[in-house]
Structure 1
Amino acid sequence: MEKFLPLFLLCFLIFLQHVYGQGDTITTTQFIKDGEFIVSSDGVFELGFFSPGETSTNRYVGIWYKEISVITPVWVANRLAPLTNKTGVLKVIQSGLVVLHNDTNATVWSTNSTRSVKNPVAQLLNTGNFVVRDANNPNPENFLWQSFDYPSDTLIAILEIVSGKKNRRFVHPDHHLNLLGHAWILHKDGRPLELVDPSLVDSCCISEVVRSIHVGLLCVQQNPEDRPSMSTVINMLTNDGVLPPPKHPGFFTQRKIGDVDKFTWSTQTPSSINEVTITLLDAR
């Protein structure tokens, strides 16, 4: 029996290092593997690994609303460097950085900071903000890093998830608009449900999906001053208040007839080279 004791202790220590959805914090002695997650203390937000849509095998680390039936990520870490399998590991290292490793232990994404602390932790706050701080210092002014400073996230991806289509490759027989343009037309015509993938209709809360589409359109309005801040987006998606009408989107595109690869942009081109299309929100 004694010869098995060291092995048992080793397995027990490895078990303790994992985070299984209990708590909102990762320390330097813990890590999150694909399939594991942390949850904000109020139970609203969840952070973990996900794939966009039903067919993609790429994996991203993101934050979404735990109680919304369709995953609607509000922030994505490795949007330009997706993992190709489920072997990713997210951890906090002693220097005060959060790093994402792939199956070869290479770093595919990390936070950045010019400062360090003795006891760094990463915490998912009730606001949906993922922060790196000293374990003994919760003062927001002393955060080493926070996701709210990088809201380069995925509100167009909401449209992609609920429709089952890709914004950049969307084709419709009646017009030459991209998915966002199509969503805008349906919204103006009072037909947002036509955007929803039929396979999702029976498995999701329609009112939540329609509200998510509306909020997504608010976040891509042409004038950055009209776009809601991240905290306002959170309130919009977690409450039932009346939403303001969205104005013309700034990422509204129309392809040239007969050429699905050429686009004319009304303002600027979002920087996304993968299946998670990114809405660039101006920080407030």
Structure 2
Amino acid sequence: MQITHSIPELRAALAQRGKPAFVPTMGNLHEGHLSLVRIAREHGDVTVASIFVNRLQFLPHEDFDSYPRTWESDCEKLRSQGCDILFAPREADLYPEPQVFKVQPDPRLADILEGEFRPGFFTGVCTVVMKLFSCVFATTGGGAAVFGMKDYQQLMVIRRMVRQFALPIEIIAGDTARAEDGLALSSRNGYLSADERQQAMALSRALKALAEAARRADAPLAQVEATAMQALQAQGWQPDYLTVRNRSDLLAPADTSARANLPLVALGAARLGSTRLIDNLEF
């Protein structure tokens, strides 16, 4: 695996290598990330991963400084999956001057759910992803990029950004990787204490119960969601949201009997102790 740090180094490494398949990450890699690398190997001539902890998507009170950085382990994991090129820019490589030009996503999609509780988050995500896409694809004529479905809203935002800017990039979704007990794998799971880790699967169970109740369509959706929130709170969680939305636009579905047949997704974000976890379930 070739490791590059600067944009010119990366582009030189990609020269004459064909179409890249790209997996952007913030490092602290787990099986979920590695599954995306394996998908990428099937969709390009050269597999590229990036590791960059993006300051722009962290709020002032969030964990940018303490976010786990596990360089040696990450490199070994990527090598084991046949990654061809690792792009690991320093902040000065990616942001050599203050990044005052930013990508502002549609607020109807980006200011709800995660965007409501983490204002500006998707602006930071879109800006860094657009810049990484420029680094990887500008001289290759396009390719593919792989994102995980655990970050459901982020995947939708990125897809719309690519479509709106007519970028020659195919966005491929990888299924959420889960532990044996159902917990969605996340770099932040490492923040959980041993006791919290035993409780952590309650979020995925809550989403499953929410989906089942919403599908019955025998009660107003707001009531079903409130019941789910109260049940999780009773287990010691601090939920930001447990909600059911249309898969197509993440808006609330019509509160009618037709709800039983719509393609929906249950999404949740909740804090267990000091750790904030997210998950989703299509149904």
Whether these two folds match at TM > 0.5 is: no
TM-score range (shorter-chain normalised) is under 0.3
> Which structure has the highest helix share of the two?
2
Q: Which one scores higher on RCO, CA 8 angstroms, separation ≥ 6?
A: 2
